[in-house]
Chain A
Amino acid sequence: MTLLTRRTLVAGLASAGGLVVAGCDKIDASPNVRKLLSLGEGATYSAQRFVSDRAALAPEFAPSQMSPIFRTNGNTMPGSSEFAAHMASNFTDWRLIVDGLVARPLSLSLAQLRAAPHRTQITRHDCVEGWSAIGQWTGTPLRLILQQAGLSSAARYIVFHCADDSNGAPYYESFDLIDAMHPQTILAWGMNGQPLSVPHGAPIRLRVERQLGYKQAKYVMRVEAVASLAGLFGGKGGYWEDVANYQWYAGI
């Protein structure tokens, strides 16, 4: 008389669960749902810009508050032979290219960057996954470099091209001019009082302190000013944005 045994009940619940999961995945994949969700993303970007002074500084910390171990993440060694050659020569022949919508394209050596005015800040690095690490960064404010290059009035975004790639897709990132010109936005060549190490992005790594970790491009080779992100790689403004739909504005 026990038509409904424990086993069939469990199997029934499991298959009902499978149906729920399948149904949810269908909702998740629907273009209209995608559109609705991206409305939320746009609202978040606008709201954060609305409540934040464009020069509002990210919190800075005391040396005693620094993480004992600052873990690495993402690529820790670009695979190209060019990068290997730069490493072998201690980046003496390496040049940072600044071009795109600028009046005076630049080609800067690491020595020139280190000799320029610089800023040291102890800030918190927040990975999108949820961990946070506090470290000290020293570098040249991006604003000074862009001013020296003479940013065109047509420029809307600053793109950072990197030496590393994943399965052939080069790493890159981009920002609006508010974050690009922010006083804490630096091209860091020093970390925790030492020259920046290769696992952390040598010779220079971008710090944009009001956004998440995947925006902090490592191994920066070229800074390009553009009017639109549409023509670049996957068109979404960054490596993770293109390959896995991560949010372009990573202020939350």
Chain B
Amino acid sequence: MSDAPDPVLVAPATAAPPPFYRHKLPTRLWHWTNALSVFVMLMSGLMILSAHPHLYWGVYGANADHAWFEILPGHIRIGSLILPGFGIFGVSRGGQNYTVNPLFTIPSHYDLAGSREWHFAFAWLLVVPGILYLAWTLIGRHKRDLAPTLDELRPAHILHDINEHAHLRFPTGEAAKRYNILQKLSYSAVIFVLIPGVILTGLTMSPGLNAAWPWLLDLFGGRPSARSIHFICAMGLAAFIFVHLAMVILAGPINEIRSMFSGWYRPHPDRVPADPSTDPIPEPAE
């Protein structure tokens, strides 16, 4: 125990590194209020979309106008591209056609008024904690956790990280204590682009707020455009959640989920002997 062992002789799975405090309380609280609100927003939003499953660009858009996106029986159309409905859109079940699979909507039966009630109630749970968390991130230290270094932004580094993730080799030991570049980019996209995007385009669809804040319409190019961008951002969030959940499962769901409750995370032991020469990417200087 007393002698420092030769690094080459260190077995891959020696004593596990001690747990460390990875998630501060605001992050953990926001994660779970957001998990609930985004889940309800996406499902009630799909019901709202199903009331008029056509999306337009511009200042007006109704049935006689050109839609760039449409849900059709069995498939969706994006521009001139026809894609399958992926079991979500334009499904047929038990001899009945549904614009959106009832498994993915709130409520499960067609109820536009009900879905709007869910959507606008849970929007408060998205907006209020979202603003607080954004302020905490920007004022406090958390923005430094998210900011990529110049070195990390090198295409070679990003490609290397993508390759590592694709081979399900996740950061271990010291490297697991920081966000990797893919986490930094995807979390930043969610916090700074997708969530502000859904909120602002959501507000832009309100005829009441159009009178109070007409600049929102100028920002997004009209209500139908805002509705289109709202949907694109929402699908971006859905894609993020899909990948995020897959990563949690692959990286060890118990450890990951526990750390989002308690804040304490147990890094995986280093896979390879701690020999810097085998790591093609130097550690960030910070």
> A interface vs B, CB < 8 Å?
17, 20-21, 24-25, 28, 36-41, 43-44, 48, 51-53, 56-59, 61, 65-71, 124, 126-134, 209-212, 240, 244-247, 251-252
Contacts and interface: CB of A to CB of B under 8 A. Distances in A.
21 contacts: A24-B107, A25-B108, A28-B107, A37-B118, A41-B117, A41-B120, A44-B124, A48-B208, A52-B208, A52-B209, A59-B211, A59-B217, A65-B59, A67-B65, A129-B52, A130-B227, A132-B62, A210-B208, A245-B113, A246-B113, A251-B206
A53 B213 CA distance: 10
Contact of B208 (A21, A65, A69, A211): A211
Given A131-B62, A133-B60, A57 B52 contact: no
Contacts of B206: 48, 251-252
A125 to B, nearest CB: 9
Interface residues on B, range: 35 or more
A57 B211 CA distance: 5
A127 B56 CA distance: 14
A247 B117 contact: yes
A134 B48 CA distance: 21
A63 to B, nearest CB: 13
Given A37-B118, A244-B113, A245-B114, A130 B51 contact: yes
Contacts of B124: 40, 43-44
A126 B207 contact: yes
A252 B121 CA distance: 12
A57 B213 CA distance: 10
B116 A247 contact: yes
A210 B210 CA distance: 8
Contacts of A70: 62
Interface in B192-248: 205-214, 217, 223-224, 227
B266 interface: no
Interface string B140-165: 00000000000000000000000000
B62 A67 contact: yes
B89 interface: no
A252 B109 CA distance: 22
A58 B64 contact: no
Given A48-B206, A52-B212, A129-B112, A40 B120 contact: yes
A129 B106 CA distance: 16
B268 interface: no
A58 B118 contact: no
Contacts of A131: 52, 54, 61-63, 224
Contact of B122 (A40, A51, A58): A40
A180 to B, nearest CB: 15
A64 to B, nearest CB: 10
Contacts of B113: 240, 244-247
Contacts of B49: 130
B207 A251 contact: yes
Given A37-B117, A53-B212, A28 B207 contact: no
B84 interface: no
B120 A44 contact: yes
A124 B103 contact: no
Contacts of B122: 40
